[in-house]
Structure 1
Amino acid sequence: MKARQQRIALIVGGLAVLGIAAALVLNAFQSNLVFFFSPTQVATGEAPKDRLFRVGGLVKEGSLSRDADGVTVRFVITDTVKDMTVAYKGILPDLFREGKGVVAQGKLGADGLFVASEVLAKHDENYMPPEATKAINDAGSREINEKAAHTLKQ
């Protein structure tokens, strides 16, 4: 092989290795990527059916209940427009309270029940997860816009 052919082969080999490494990194990133949705977005079908995702909002007052097994907890998350029932098997965080912000990670069942594998709660009196705050603010502004549009039609 001539020196020129060796350089070309080295460059092509380097690009191939770089391409394979980039593909592996992107594949790992894609499989670990978890998106956030509000209950309204889940109700409109924007959330994936067979992938992990996060849903957040406020825990609705009076919605917390335990199943007969004593381990599974059910509660309702709301963004003030739509509600969503969540089932979680395990111990809830110490700071989990009704009326407070929460983010749950899991999958949406065929029956519309969100089965959480992880529940995250606020950590002090003034904190709500940013995703939950944004979802509640978006839902509130969406509700105001819908009321305004309805008023204009009349």
Structure 2
Amino acid sequence: MKKKKIVVVVGLLILSAIIFIMISGFKQNTIYYIEVHELQQNPDKFTKKGIRISGDVLEGSVKKDEINKHLEFVMMDKTGAKMNVLYNGIIPDAFKESVQVIVEGKYDKNTNTFTATTLLAKCPSKYEAEVEKQK
């Protein structure tokens, strides 16, 4: 009987340790997903961690240097809040003016500039409609 209690206690300790490691690892890798106005209202809350911001590319604001893989544009959310975005890397094919994007990186509240390490562009809905028609 005593051996069974020891096995149960050791099993619970091991299970607790595994759960603790999983939860702490998840918290460290969590990245916030917010809109531009939420970031601007409370920038200090989000400056310590990498964050994801969603919004639309403002028409007429895109400056592209495809040779050096450098991109600058203004991102705007549905409330009209705007911020400058800088990105160096491979520019997604779906990226263009007025498309919805998600950027991941760091924000500088002094210059209202977001330096993106990741850029994701939402595919236009016309592609989704064509796929549905083919079925």
| Structure 1 equivalent of residue 101 of structure 2 | 102
Partner secondary structure for residue 7 of structure 1 = helix
In structure 2, how many angstroms separate the alpha carbons of the residues matched to 1:95 and 1:71? 15
TM-score (norm 2): 0.79
Task: Note the C-alpha offset of 1:62.
Answer: 1.3
Greater alpha carbon shift after TM alignment, 70-79 vs 87-96? 70-79
Task: Note the C-alpha offset of 1:77.
Answer: 0.7
| Structure 1 equivalent of residue 132 of structure 2 | none
| Structure 2 equivalent of residue 79 of structure 1 | 77
In structure 2, how many angstroms separate the alpha carbons of the residues matched to 1:100 and 1:18? 46
Give the letter for the 1:38 counterpart: E
Contact kept? 1:50, 1:108, Cα under 8 Å? no
Is the alpha carbon distance of 1:51 and 1:126 closer, same or farther for their aligned partners in structure 2, counting shifts above 3 Å? farther
Contact kept? 1:101, 1:121, Cα under 8 Å? yes
Task: Note the C-alpha offset of 1:66.
Answer: 4.2
Q: How many residues align?
A: 123
Aligned-pair RMSD on alpha carbons?
2.1
Task: Trace 1:123-142 onto structure 2 (pairs within 5 A).
Answer: 123-126=123-126
In structure 2, how many angstroms separate the alpha carbons of the residues matched to 1:107 and 1:126? 32
Give the letter for the 2:52 counterpart: R
In structure 1, how many angstroms separate the alpha carbons of the residues matched to 2:117 and 2:60? 22
Contact kept? 2:40, 2:109, Cα under 8 Å? no
In structure 1, how many angstroms separate the alpha carbons of the residues matched to 2:28 and 2:16? 18
Contact kept? 1:86, 1:113, Cα under 8 Å? yes
Task: Note the C-alpha offset of 1:32.
Answer: 2.2
Task: Note the C-alpha offset of 1:48.
Answer: 1.1
Structure 1 runs (4+) greater than 2 angstroms displaced: 69-72, 109-112, 124-127
Task: Note the C-alpha offset of 1:30.
Answer: 1.5
Q: Based on CA coordinates, which of the two structures has the bigger radius of gyration? A: 1
More strand by share: 2
Q: Please list every run of 5 or more consecutive structure 1 residues that lacks an aligned counterpart in the other structure.
A: 128-154
Percent identity, please: 28
| Structure 2 equivalent of residue 61 of structure 1 | 59
